[in-house]
C-alpha cells in the first residue's frame, strides 16, 4: 500500500475544508502548505496537493516541482468558484498544469467565494474577472457563497483507492 499526505494552500477557507473532509474520508494526514514546506515528506509515496484556482492559475503549484517532490506521485485538487464542468475553468486549469510541466491527475472542486476574507486587491481582481464573463456566468460571482460539497470528493476517493493509497 502507498502512503499519502494531503497538503493544502487556502486563502478563504474552502480548500482547507475540502482537505479536512478528504482526511476524514481517507484517514490520510493533512498539513498546510506553510507547515509542509518544513516537513520531512520522504515517508510518503503520494502527495495530494490542494489549492485554489485564481486568476487563471492554481496557486503555489510550482512548489510541486521542487526537491524531493519531483519523485513523488502527485494528485492535484483545484478549488474555485466556477461551476463544475465550466469549460473556461477546465481550459485554464489545463494551461496551469501544462505550464508547470506536471503530468498528474487534476480534480476540480467547486467551492465558492468569500469576499469577507479577501483583501482589496483580491476583490478588485474578482470584479475585473466577473466583467470578462457572460452575464449568466458572472451571476455566480456577485456575492459570497459556498457551493462546496463532500460529494465532489467521491471521484478523488475512488482514484486514491485505485492507486492503493492507505492511511497511516
| Segment 94-151, tens digit of pLDDT | 888 888 888 899 999 998 766 666 678 776 776 776 677 666 666 666 666 678 899 9
Looking at the predicted structure, is the pLDDT value of residue 168 above 60? no
What dotted CATH number matches 2-163? 3.40.50
Q: Residue 15's pLDDT is what?
A: 95
Strands (E), the chain: 2-9, 30-32, 46-54, 57-58, 73-80, 106-110, 112-113, 145-146, 165-166
Q: Which residues contact 100 (CB under 8 A, 6 or more apart)?
A: 61, 62, 64, 65
| Segment 8-59, tens digit of pLDDT | 999 888 999 999 999 999 999 999 999 999 999 999 999 999 999 876 788 8
Are the CB atoms for 7 and 30 separated by under 8 Å?
yes
Nearest by Cα to 163 from 70, 58, 44: 44
Q: How many CA atoms lie within 13 A of 16 on its CB side?
A: 9
Could you tell me the CA-to-CA distances from 80 to 26, 157, 167 in Å, in that order? 22, 19, 27
pTM for this model (two decimals): 0.84
Q: Residue 143's pLDDT is what?
A: 66
Q: Residue 96's pLDDT is what?
A: 87
Average pLDDT over residues 73-90: 88
Q: What is the largest CA-CA distance in the chain?
A: 48
Q: Residue 113's pLDDT is what?
A: 66
Pairing of strands 145-146, 112-113: antiparallel
Amino acid at each position: 500500500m502507498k502512503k499519502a499526505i494531503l497538503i493544502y494552500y487556502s486563502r478563504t477557507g474552502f480548500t482547507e475544508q475540502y482537505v479536512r473532509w478528504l482526511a476524514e474520508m481517507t484517514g490520510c494526514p493533512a498539513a498546510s502548505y506553510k507547515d509542509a514546506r518544513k516537513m520531512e515528506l520522504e515517508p510518503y509515496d503520494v502527495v495530494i496537493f490542494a489549492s485554489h484556482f485564481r486568476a487563471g492559475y492554481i496557486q503555489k503549484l510550482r512548489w510541486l516541482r521542487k526537491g524531493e517532490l519531483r519523485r513523488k506521485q502527485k494528485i492535484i485538487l483545484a478549488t474555485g468558484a466556477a461551476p463544475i464542468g465550466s469549460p473556461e475553468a477546465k481550459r485554464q486549469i489545463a494551461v496551469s498544469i501544462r505550464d508547470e510541466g506536471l503530468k498528474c491527475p487534476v480534480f476540480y472542486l467547486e467551492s465558492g467565494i468569500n469576499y469577507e476574507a479577501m483583501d482589496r486587491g483580491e476583490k478588485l481582481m474578482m470584479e475585473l474577472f466577473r466583467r470578462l464573463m457572460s452575464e449568466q456566468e458572472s451571476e455566480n460571482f456577485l456575492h459570497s457563497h459556498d457551493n462546496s460539497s463532500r460529494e465532489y470528493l467521491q471521484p478523488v476517493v475512488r482514484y486514491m483507492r485505485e492507486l492503493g493509497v492507505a492511511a497511516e
